[in-house]
Structures are given as C-alpha cells and as structure tokens.
Homo-oligomer: A and B are copies of this chain.
Amino acid sequence: MAAPRLTRRGLIAGAGAVGAGIALGGVELDRALGDSSGSGQVPFDGAHQAGIATAAQDRLHFAAFDVTADRRADLRDLLRVWTEAARRMTAGDLVGEVDALPAPPVDTGEALGLPPSRLTVTLGLGPSLFDDRFGLASRRLVALAELPPLPGDELEPNRSGGDLCVQACADDPQVVFHAVRNLARIGRGAVVMRWSQLGFGRTSTTSRSQTTPRNLMGFKDGTNNIKLEDGDALDRHVWADAPGWLRGGTYLVARRIRMLIEVWDRAALSDQEATIGRVKESGALLGEQREFDPVDLSSKRIPADAHVRLAAPSTNGGIKILRRGYSFTDGMDERLGQLDAGLFFISFQRDPAAFVELQRRLGSTDALNEYIVHTGSGLFAVPPGTTPGGYVGQTLLG
C-alpha cells in the first residue's frame, strides 16, 4: 500500500477559503439545530439514527437498492461497510483509509475540500428483504409490509420499493450526491441501485429554530410538523418502543408526489388558498393573521375538504407523523409535455398504519388531489442508532 495521498480533513483544515471548517463539541449541536446553511458535523452514533430528529438539511439524495448477494453474512458485511463509510463521510473524512496508486481510489473525490455540511446518512430495510434469502422471514414485523394501494396512486415500479434505502441529507448537494454514489460503489457486487431521487430544496422544518420553507405550490409547508425539540411527540409518534430489533427505530415512508403545476398555476389564488386552507403569503390559517396561530377547525373559513383540515391530528384521532420532504424536478415529462416536478415526501412514524390512515383520508376527499399524483412509493424499517464500532442493523443481524 502506498502512503495516504488524498485526504479530506487535511484539505479542509488547510483551506480557509472554503468555509468555516469543522465544528466541534457543543458547536456541533448548535449547527445541527441551526437554520442557515451549515458546514458542521452531525454526530453519526446515537440512540436513534441521525437524519430524522435532525434539523432538516437543505438538500437530499435518496436511493433504493436491491440486494443481489444471497448470503446472510454478505448482507451483514454490507451493512457494516456502509455504516463505517457513512460514519466517516458524516465526519468529513474520505470513505476509506488510504489510496494505493495502482488501485481505484477508495473515494471518488468530488467532496474533497468540502466540509461535512451537516451530512446525515439514514439506512432503512424494506419488506422485501425479509423473504427467504437471508433467513429473516421470521423476524419480519407485521407492520413491515408493502403499503396497500392508496387513492391517488399512479405508482411506477421503477420508482418504488427496494430491499434497502439510503437517505442522505446535507446542506451541500455535492456532499449528498457523493454519499449515495460512494455507498453504491462500495456495495457493488452485493447491491444494485433500484431508483434514486435528488431533492433540491427542503419543504419541512423539523426544528423550532428553522423558518418554514415553501413547496412548489408556493405555500409554506410543515408549519405544524413535529419538531426535534418535542421529545414527547417524538416518543409518542416516531420512535418504535416495542421490544425487539426495531426498538428505538422507526418506519420511513417515501412518496414521490408529482404536482400538476401547470394546472395549479391556472387556479385562482382564492381557489389555491381554499384548497390548502391557508393564506399563501403569510402561511396563516384562513381567517387568522399569523402562521403559527393555532389550528381552529371550527372556523367556517376553512372548507370541509381543505388539506389543512383533513391532515390535522384533531380530525384523525391524534395521528401525527414527522415529515421531512424535499422539492424535486426531473426535467420534462415527455408524455405530458410538462415539467416533472413536485414533492418527494418522506415521513417517519412509529407505525406505517399512521401514514396509511392519513393518506386514505386525504386521498379520497382532499381538495389537493386535483393537482397531485403519487408516482413512487417505498416503505422501510429504520433500525435504531449505533454505538461507535457498531453497525446499522446489528440488532437484527448481529
């Protein structure tokens, strides 16, 4: 082996021009919480995987993989190697240790010189992983089943499903691309990528320190989302607590929601506001003044089929989910001759039934349905977090 040649930390430390460098200690947490673009580091290890109750970063690269290896030991090795690579990348390090000149680089290099950028890598396990291949059939949790057909579904198989998923979030798109690409690369021979989605801008807040962004309908989205400061709500609605391998984990639902923006753009402002139930500019409920004024569904200003009414926990038996979605565009849809753009919806919940119930209700009566189509879907169990040296999935495979 040759001496180390490529380093990422070294470049960062030496490059004052690049940014603020690596945050340490208490500063890290401040950055993980902060709203503005961050260069800092989100700790990888912890009771829960990072990237869930982490202040939503600005950019996303999400990918689903199918496992082609057929031995349980290979799956375990893959998750070990992926975990270690993710741990290193989130710290701003290269994926691997050293480069030996005659071999391909251990890291593809496009993130050289970039700070950690609050990268988180969150790994999930799909229902299809729990078939006979790896002896996991008996470990499958009842809730870990493919989502049932839902109203609004026009799902494309090549945007749906997968044995494994990777959610990479950071404040720099090059950093999230680098993470997914390198996991795909080092997984070669054990996995093939099934689909992937770039999200260019966050549409959710998951911390009280963040301002509410707008989705591509132009409305503020996620005003009443669960915030990471609400430990009680996280425990009640997000973290699984039944004994077993998922304890401390959660379920991830991904939905590629195509917005029919050309139709939406022709709707009157008053119709748009009635559809959502909020004022477009301020984000306040119809009839209210400010974005965070409490939801009073007795108000006659909010139509019966307004999205905000149907999605409110008080009309859904208290159901709450943690949303962490991103806007996307994938160029033109040749079939329709329109921009293929919308919301890549991600939610975390302790039981996928929460999402299913909500979507059944929204999908059948929500005024928004006229303007959206669900074109992709995935459900994944997200194992709990790791201790240093451990790997994601160890509670299942260890």
Contact of A184 among B101, B270, B327, B339 (CB under 8 A): B339
Interface residues of A in 328-350 (CB under 8 A from B): 329-332, 334, 337-339, 341
> Chain B contacts of A105 at CB under 8 A?
218, 265, 269, 272, 280
Bound: A216/B109 CA distance, A: 8
Interface residues of A in 101-126 (CB under 8 A from B): 101-105, 107-113
A201 at interface, CB cutoff 8 A = yes
> Chain B contacts of A299 at CB under 8 A?
none
The verdict on A200 contacting B173 (CB below 8 Å), with A37-B37, A101-B269, A192-B337 known, is: yes
> Chain B contacts of A13 at CB under 8 A?
none
Residue of B with least CB distance to A215: B110
A214 at interface, CB cutoff 8 A = yes
Interface residues of A in 1-51 (CB under 8 A from B): 5-7, 11, 15, 17-19, 35-37
Number of copies: 2
Question: How distant is A141 from chain B, measured CB to nearest CB, in Å?
Answer: 29
> Chain B contacts of A337 at CB under 8 A?
192-193
> Chain B contacts of A216 at CB under 8 A?
108, 110, 177, 181
Question: How distant is A111 from chain B, measured CB to nearest CB, in Å?
Answer: 8
Contact of A331 among B15, B195, B338 (CB under 8 A): B195
Q: B5 contacts A110, CB within 8 Å?
A: no
Q: B198 contacts A268, CB within 8 Å?
A: no
Bound: A200/B170 CA distance, A: 13
Contact of A196 among B188, B198, B200, B331 (CB under 8 A): B331
Contact of A332 among B15, B193, B268 (CB under 8 A): B193
Interface residues of A (CB under 8 A from B): 5-7, 11, 15, 17-19, 35-37, 59, 61, 99, 101-105, 107-113, 158, 172-174, 177, 181, 184-185, 188, 192-198, 200-201, 211, 213-219, 261-262, 265-270, 272, 280-281, 327, 329-332, 334, 337-339, 341
**Known pairs A173-B200, A193-B338, A194-B332 / 17 extra A-B pairs, C-beta < 8 Å:** A6-B269, A15-B211, A101-B269, A104-B268, A108-B218, A109-B281, A110-B214, A110-B218, A112-B214, A112-B281, A158-B332, A173-B173, A174-B213, A174-B327, A185-B265, A192-B337, A193-B337
